[in-house]
Chain A
Amino acid sequence: MLTYVIFGVLLLGAVLILITHSYKPNTARSWVIAIVSASIAWVASFVLRLYLPADIPLMTWHAESSFADPLALAIDYINWPFLVAILSMAVAVLLTDTTRMEAGITPYSWLRVLTITALNLISILAANPLTMAISWMLIDLVDILSLLQLSSASQLGSKITSAFGIRLLSTFMLVFATANTWRIDPVQVGYAQIANASIYFLMAAGLRLGVLPLNLPFLDSPELRRGSGILFRLMPAASALVLIAQMQDEFLHFDKTFSTVVQVLTLIAAFYSAVMWMTRESSFEARPYWVVALSAFAVQSALNGHPGASRVWGLGLLLSGSLLFLFDPPIRRIMFLPLIGLIGFTGLPYTLAASGWQGLLPEWINFTWVIMVLTHAFLVIGYLRFLFRSESTVTGLEKYARITFPLGLVILIQTILVLNLAGWPGVLTTGSLPGSGISLFIVLVALVLGWKFGFDKASTKLPQTIPFYRLLSLMISSLRQFLSLAWVSTAFRKLFIALSSLGAFFNQIIEGDGGVLWSLVFIVILSIIFLSLGGRS
């Protein structure tokens, strides 16, 4: 019942904004409707914690046939934290939007926030892959149409097609993954029986997250830079993270060599993204790397046989990430608020991400262990770097925004704290003391070095402060070009053009004057094949 209330309130709010704003435009009224709707849903999500786990059957396709397919939602300890996180993000976006009114934010942006949140909740709560695939498609269509509506023909970059294509591919991969499990589990009421096809599910999630293969989320459009844009970019990752977290512990039923290859690719994606995150000029530019790095953590956890551990990295991605990205304008006096958000992913004992180390680090210290700890430390360093650049003051803000803006950030912080204390049974754990300790040590060393060499303010001083800067810069630039995988798309484009010529030639033969003769040749060939088949039997 409460779940329906959450959906109902969000969608009702969206409809009310649409009607009232079309009839008699009033920005303040629309904002109030949006914030009230989102807040009710947010409070209701906490109450839901008392009723876990719960199943919500929706309908059954082909119920009277032998191919019954149930559509259902379910809430458990895996997806409830994501549900709360998503709703907290929606409330936070609405509250912090009060500082961004001049940036083209309109009541329709809030309508989109409510709608997209409701749609993403469906995919987060999807009880089986079928429900998830449908919700993914719905989200992608709404997303792409919103993007086209927000953009103009001249603004639209070419990346929109590839980004949409990758999303489509991930949805189809999910559908084909379920086809592989059908023989074992024809009813597919949940994710319980999908172990034998886990790699396909993981690839579906990996594609969506931008990890397998490495592809950065689409962020070119100026509308996506701030406020609700952050929500649109981070939310779709949530359901993919839920999919990973829902996988079975005894996960790797596929080829070990293949799993090692996937693991190495994920490791590279994580490390590369962390380095890029740490070194970008602005948090906007660095945002895709944050998504990819933490998603890679989640995928790595699943590959290590601890898909449950991926949950905390996903929550870190969403909650700590949105805390930093919504800290815009970055007001120096309240810099401590996003700083508290670090609790969400530092991995220190008894913090939210402590249980995540289990999935990330091997039992013994080896190369992977070192890289993972380094990657984690780089992410924290980058976070702090962007935070320490805060230079704005409250003077430029409206009076009401002086309350709502910090309140939005507080909402996220308190969600992190609540999840830290009562997210799921066993959330309070020491995690990996060596892992978190060494990561913290690296961060502290970097802070000291940064403070000493002045890294915290601007990267323009880097050439003077780092020895062999030009050589390093050249190496990093080459590596960046290689890992950006732009060469892969170029190679594919060339291959496609070559194949197109071949296809055109084939078409010419088949559809040309000699085409009928070719048809006759094919008839003869088919006949021979068929007769030989018959002869053999």
Chain B
Amino acid sequence: MSNPGNTIVLWILLPMVLSIATSFLRRWKKIYHGLSMMIPLLLAVLAVVFSQNLTLNFAGRHIVLSDSMAVFDRTLQITANQLGMVSFLYFLCFAWNLLDPISKESQWFGSLSLSITALWVTVQFLNPFLYAAVVIELITLLSIPLLSPRGSPAKSGIIRYLSAQTLALPLILLSGWMVSGIETSPSAEALVLRGTLLLMLGFVLWLGIFPLHSWLPMLTEESPPWTSSFLLTIMQLSLSFFLLKVLNQYGWLRNLPELVLSLKWIGALCIFSAGVIAAFQTNLKRLPAYFFLAETGYILLSVAFRGIGGLEILRMTLLPRVFGYWVLGFSVSTLQQALDDNTLDFDSLRGLFWRFPLTSVLLFSSLLNLIGAPLFAVFPARRVLWNLLPVDVLPLSILVAIGVLGMLILFLRLFSTLVHPKQEDSQELTETPKKEGPVLIAAVAFILLAMIVFGIFPDLLDDPFRQLWASFQNLLP
């Protein structure tokens, strides 16, 4: 007996409804956090379960899901081979909600993160794609209450973030209209160039690509670290999926020779600029932004190298990258709470290692992980990408190498700051008892172990997502 069901209802509408419902349970914190954690986990697991052919035999019942739905004359379609992506996004939401009770940043995080995830899922599967720009604008608006808590005025970084995302909207809409013109006359070279230009500028604004990245460090500096790490991570990965979707859909775009070259240069420039600017930073809260910028560069490089296995590398890096952001967000958030200091200037962090040794080690490890140091989770896939660079253009390798060097300088400056207290504090710090509770110690030990285990056995993170690009047949070699 088959049960009528729909992938859109299950992974978009239902989470939205549940998000609204759970928001009324905020007063009962344990229930609220439990639900915020369990709902995305369940949705992620269900996406894996149905990923074969949208059917499930359960307790003698044969459940079959249909894969599309029309909303306001637009089509939303999630097929079986696209459920890997859905599962990935909900897993990401689960991961951040898992440690949200420790971060204690926003009481709205649980419910809003679920809505935001559902909307990012919508972005991936909405046709025609240009309407996704509107959904992304909606996500931006929804994220404002998380970034700027009630009662505090919106700061310049948040306003700039909102402006960048809003500026991208007309560019993408315009490109969408041009695209329809190109499809009817593909030989119109000028139209192709303009369409590509608008589309790329839209992505540049969305992702905060150099030199339009200024909102990134401002945003991370002004907003709670755990929340901003979630919003930026899900945005970066969803937009990567979305970029692949666009490339997969439009042959004229993916076959444009200038596009590959531009992606390579923009990617290398992002890594270079992130490293060089980060090397001079003096505020811990700004650092995630530069890592985010560098990772955007690596994603663009992977897409540019799609002819020689770049998408495979992109897939390999997905979970390690998420894990890296997760750990970095957690360590910065933990330090902010421990110090009860919203600024986290390097000066205020002097000698912190002696008071919070494990949290400091976690912070060091998370930075080394994202830089791509051997032994850590990001390294195995990052190394493959580095290996591809000399095959191509030498200046690209040099830009990337300088970017990595800049990140290493930043790491060493932070290391020096944390282990060297101010002269007058050094004796006192040695005698100060360590201020880390057993729960935190256990969490940190577990995360560190995981980071190294994933660094030595990278296939553990890669195996579950081998079919992730199944729906991008035109991009696969």
Contacts and interface: CB of A to CB of B under 8 A. Distances in A.
11 contacts: A69-B380, A148-B353, A148-B419, A152-B430, A153-B351, A161-B415, A164-B412, A182-B387, A183-B390, A506-B277, A511-B217
A168 B189 CA distance: 49
Interface in A262-276: none
Interface string B270-282: 0000000101100
Nearest to A182: B387
Instruction: Indicate the member of A59, A63, A169, A511 with the most B CB atoms within 10 Å.
Output: A511
Classify chain A: how many residues form its interface, as a range.
Answer: 35 or more
A61 interface: yes
A61 B458 contact: yes
A503 B280 contact: yes
B390 A153 contact: no
Contacts of B105: none
Contacts of B189: 534
B58 to A, nearest CB: 31
B428 to A, nearest CB: 9
Contact of A179 (B261, B389, B411): B389
Interface in A124-145: 130, 133-134, 136-138, 141, 145
Contact of B373 (A137, A154, A503): A137
B180 interface: no
B163 interface: yes
Contact of B212 (A161, A171, A178, A519): A519
A500 B346 CA distance: 14
Interface of A: 59, 61-67, 69, 130, 133-134, 136-138, 141, 145, 148, 152-154, 156, 158, 160-161, 164-165, 168-169, 171-172, 175-176, 178-180, 182-183, 186, 499-500, 503-504, 506-507, 510-511, 515-516, 518-519, 522-523, 526-527, 530-531, 533-534, 537
Interface of B: 156, 160, 163-164, 189, 193, 196-197, 200-201, 204, 211-212, 214, 217-218, 257-258, 261-262, 277, 279-280, 309, 312-313, 316, 351, 353-354, 357, 361, 373-375, 380, 383-384, 386-391, 397, 401, 404-405, 408, 411-412, 415-416, 419-421, 425-427, 429-430, 455-459, 462, 466
B420 A172 contact: no
B211 A134 contact: no
Given A511-B218, A518-B214, 19 more contacts: A62-B316, A62-B458, A65-B316, A69-B380, A69-B384, A136-B374, A148-B419, A153-B354, A153-B420, A153-B430, A156-B420, A158-B416, A161-B419, A168-B411, A169-B408, A172-B373, A179-B390, A522-B211, A523-B201
A67 B408 contact: no
A153 B357 CA distance: 12
B280 A504 contact: yes
B429 A153 contact: yes
A176 B462 CA distance: 23
A168 B427 contact: no
Nearest to A527: B197
A59 B380 CA distance: 13
Nearest to B404: A172
Contacts of A530: 193, 196-197, 200, 258, 262
B429 A179 contact: no
Contacts of B459: 61-63
A203 to B, nearest CB: 13
Given A62-B380, A130-B383, A503-B277, A67 B389 contact: no
Contacts of A186: 387
A204 to B, nearest CB: 12
